[in-house]
Chains A and B, each alone.
Chain A
Amino acid sequence: MTEYDFPECTSFGSVIRFALELEKAASNVYDELAGRPNLASAQEPLKALSETHRKRSELLEHTRREKLNEMILEPIQDLDSSSYVVETEVPEGLDMAGAKAFAGKIEETSSRFYVDSSKTAQSLLAEAARILDKMGKENEAIKAKLESL
């Protein structure tokens, strides 16, 4: 079982770390669902959703390296990360509806995290804030895709 380490969000680095954990969790959940025999008909789209989240991790790594400006590296004091921790252990015996509900919850929570953290990140860097905000909106699009399966 993959271990996740969702940190408190007190700095730019820890916000990005939290986001990376969310992406890793989402990607692994879709992989897990894609491997279930009873969901074989949706295997390809589920794998594609996993790949989408893996690519988003790359974008986050890039943001951490390229968009960080130490001149405005302010502490983050108003983001309660505990409300964005997601369930990562996929229950046994999920049918398609259950799978959608389980993964959809991750997308919803992630979307909320990105939108809220983008507001916080505005004090750090507008560009980082835009990326986080865009990722939050993408979660909604991913959820719509998931529901259409």
Chain B
Amino acid sequence: MALLPEVKKDYGRIKNYVNGEWVESTSSKDLDIENPSTGGIIGKVPMSTADETKAAIEAAQDAWLSWRETPPITRARIFFKLKELIEANFEDVARIMVQEQGKTIDEARGETRRTIENVEVAAGIPSLMMGYNLEDGAAQGIDEDAVISPLGVFGVIAPFNFPAMIPYWFWPYAVASGNTYIVKSSSQVPLTQWYLFSLIDKAGFPPGVINLVNGSRDVSDTMMDHPHMKGISFVGSTPVARYIYKKCGENGKRVQAQGGAKNSLVVMPDAVLNRTVSNMLASFYGCAGQRCLAGSNLVAIGDVAEPLIEKFVEASKRIRMGYGLDENTNMGPVVSAKAKEKVIGYIDGAEADGAKILIDGRGAKVPGYEKGHFVGPTVIDGVTPDMKIAQEEIFGPVVSYLRMDSLDDAIDFIHKNPFGNAASIYTQSGRHARDFRYKVQAGNIGINIGIVAAMAYFPFAGYKDSFFGDLHGQGRDAISFFTDRKVVITRWF
């Protein structure tokens, strides 16, 4: 089948968007933006300087006072306009994402939809931001109100795996509730946000309300150090999440830092096997395993182990790899040569530890895309809980197969892992499902669902080393993170 057309072959050197203007970075350091499917260079991203970041923060601070005085319904109208613009350019957003990140067009369309959903939910800000009050709440004749107020300038430091959606877990809620904002997109995948900012530019936000600064650590550190910044949202690895949590804490800033994951999918003997296997394929191989909600450990309970592995291996062999702009592709490459090397290192390690590689994706080749960073579906049997492959985040299409005697054993195994992002159970038993959702210490629980991706009106949760902070992205949690409660006690003489 013919490939869908690329939006552009070469996007050139992208600019920052500061104070309502497109600004060329003065930095002499650029990074190449690579298409991970073809290995071709499709643009350059500047590593913006600390001074450029400060200028964006100051523009956001200047814009804040009048933006917070803009009525919520007026702010909401701009989000309705933004939704229209993204809808009108839906396919371009999705295709740029495929070009720079490597995911499939279906995955990219799904991500674009989720991006829009966050805009839609944030557009409900007049209702979401209402405070509460109590007549005679303080004493007879003395009323008490809690008013929800914005705080100032916030920012996001975004990861590479969801180039469109993840900044939208945060910034629409921040800006809709009257704050101003800085987006630092991933320097590996900056094009999607850059393109979305071209739509933001047309939506009608006043200058300085929402800004884009491309770059790396200089930008992030400046955001975390600057006194005008009120808080930071982050999604990425656990070591960096921990660093950001600490640094923001030291600087007195709010922080929500989403870290890594090691998600287990537990299959009970009473699971509906065909549906279970099909759903798990999406979890393990979707986005080439580079979701923080991706399945990584497949835990079979009791006598389901043999029929399950047989069906799962058979179905895994039929996963079609390729360039995501081919609509037949089920799985794209991992994001970079370095990512591929890391994933292969984990497979090598499991083999050295004595596990058995049932399907080996290390030598995967896609005709016509020899320079792409493809790792094929990999299924590893004989994995035991003490092996590194069962414990650490791989971020690739690798399935570690573990066999256990009981649900309690599986829950115990999940709890021994420092991460607590997601876990799923496949069963027809309400009792097992209830035990699982009640006992498992993970922020996102799936019952017969392998990718527990909260919708925009629910928080994207996370426990233990998968999340540092209190309030999560999306929905009401996000509104609470970006606002404070001001209590007013009133008495009239």
A interface residues, Cβ below 8 angstroms from B: 5, 7-8, 10-14, 17, 64-66, 68-75, 77, 123
Interface of B is mostly: helix
Give complex CA distance A14, B330 in Å.
Answer: 10
Evaluate contact between A74 and B328: CB separation under 8 angstroms: no
Give complex CA distance A23, B290 in Å.
Answer: 36
Which B residues are CB-close (under 8 A) to A65?
Answer: 87, 90, 109, 113
Which A residues are CB-close (under 8 A) to B57?
Answer: none
Evaluate contact between A13 and B1: CB separation under 8 angstroms: no
Q: Say which size band chain B's interface belongs to.
A: 20 to 34
Evaluate contact between A73 and B286: CB separation under 8 angstroms: yes
Closest 7 CB pairs of A and B: A70-B110, A7-B1, A13-B327, A13-B106, A14-B327, A75-B330, A74-B278
| A74-B282, A77-B315 known; A68-B327 Cβ under 8 A | no
| A66-B113, A74-B278, A75-B278 known; A5-B104 Cβ under 8 A | no
Nearest chain B CB to A121's CB is how many angstroms away?
12
Q: 24 A-B Cβ contacts within 8 A?
A: A7-B327, A10-B320, A10-B328, A10-B330, A13-B105, A13-B106, A14-B328, A70-B106, A70-B114, A70-B286, A71-B453, A72-B279, A72-B449, A73-B107, A73-B110, A73-B282, A74-B281, A75-B278, A75-B281, A75-B318, A75-B320, A75-B330, A77-B278, A77-B315
A7, A10, A13, A65 interface centre (most CB from chain B within 10 Å): A13
Give complex CA distance A10, B327 in Å.
Answer: 8
Is B329 part of the contact surface with A, judged by Cβ < 8 Å?
Answer: yes
Evaluate contact between B1 and A5: CB separation under 8 angstroms: yes
Give complex CA distance A28, B282 in Å.
Answer: 36
Give complex CA distance A133, B282 in Å.
Answer: 24
Is B379 part of the contact surface with A, judged by Cβ < 8 Å?
Answer: no
Which A residues are CB-close (under 8 A) to B65?
Answer: none
Contact of A68 among B113, B275, B281, B452 (CB under 8 A): B113
Evaluate contact between A11 and B104: CB separation under 8 angstroms: yes
Give complex CA distance A10, B318 in Å.
Answer: 9
B interface residues, Cβ below 8 angstroms from A: 1-2, 87, 90, 104-107, 109-111, 113-114, 275, 278-279, 281-282, 285-286, 315, 318-320, 327-330, 449, 451-453
| A7-B328, A68-B106, A70-B107 known; A14-B1 Cβ under 8 A | yes
Nearest chain A CB to B72's CB is how many angstroms away?
27
Evaluate contact between A13 and B109: CB separation under 8 angstroms: yes
Which A residues are CB-close (under 8 A) to B1?
Answer: 5, 7-8, 14, 17
Which A residues are CB-close (under 8 A) to B107?
Answer: 70, 73
Which A residues are CB-close (under 8 A) to B285?
Answer: 75
Which A residues are CB-close (under 8 A) to B106?
Answer: 11-13, 68, 70, 73
Nearest chain B CB to A7's CB is how many angstroms away?
4
Give complex CA distance A101, B221 in Å.
Answer: 71
Evaluate contact between A64 and B109: CB separation under 8 angstroms: yes
Nearest chain B CB to A70's CB is how many angstroms away?
3
Give complex CA distance A13, B7 in Å.
Answer: 18
Evaluate contact between A75 and B282: CB separation under 8 angstroms: yes
Evaluate contact between A123 and B275: CB separation under 8 angstroms: yes
| A64-B109, A77-B318 known; A71-B328 Cβ under 8 A | no
Contact of A71 among B90, B275, B329, B449 (CB under 8 A): B449
Extra pairs beyond A70-B113, A75-B315 (6, CB < 8 Å): A10-B328, A14-B1, A65-B109, A70-B111, A75-B278, A123-B278
A5, A11, A71, A73 interface centre (most CB from chain B within 10 Å): A71
B1, B106, B110, B329 interface centre (most CB from chain A within 10 Å): B106
Which A residues are CB-close (under 8 A) to B449?
Answer: 71-72
- Taking CB as reference atom, which chain B residue is nearest A7? B1
Which A residues are CB-close (under 8 A) to B286?
Answer: 70, 73
Which B residues are CB-close (under 8 A) to A14?
Answer: 1, 327-328
Give complex CA distance A13, B90 in Å.
Answer: 14
Which B residues are CB-close (under 8 A) to A13?
Answer: 104-106, 109, 327
Which A residues are CB-close (under 8 A) to B453?
Answer: 70-71
Which A residues are CB-close (under 8 A) to B111?
Answer: 70
Which A residues are CB-close (under 8 A) to B279?
Answer: 72, 74, 123
- Taking CB as reference atom, which chain B residue is nearest A75? B330
Evaluate contact between B328 and A72: CB separation under 8 angstroms: no
Nearest chain A CB to B33's CB is how many angstroms away?
23
Which B residues are CB-close (under 8 A) to A5?
Answer: 1-2
Give complex CA distance A65, B83 in Å.
Answer: 14
| A13-B105, A13-B109, A75-B278 known; A70-B328 Cβ under 8 A | no
- Taking CB as reference atom, which chain A residue is nearest B281? A75
Nearest chain B CB to A119's CB is how many angstroms away?
12
- Taking CB as reference atom, which chain B residue is nearest A8? B328
Give complex CA distance A93, B483 in Å.
Answer: 73
Which A residues are CB-close (under 8 A) to B315?
Answer: 75, 77
Which A residues are CB-close (under 8 A) to B328?
Answer: 7-8, 10-11, 14
Which B residues are CB-close (under 8 A) to A68?
Answer: 106, 109-110, 113
Give complex CA distance A17, B2 in Å.
Answer: 11
Give complex CA distance A71, B450 in Å.
Answer: 8
Give complex CA distance A1, B401 in Å.
Answer: 52
Give complex CA distance A5, B90 in Å.
Answer: 23
Which B residues are CB-close (under 8 A) to A64?
Answer: 109
Evaluate contact between B278 and A17: CB separation under 8 angstroms: no
Which B residues are CB-close (under 8 A) to A11?
Answer: 104, 106, 327-330
Which A residues are CB-close (under 8 A) to B282?
Answer: 72-75
Nearest chain B CB to A84's CB is how many angstroms away?
15
Give complex CA distance A104, B77 in Å.
Answer: 49
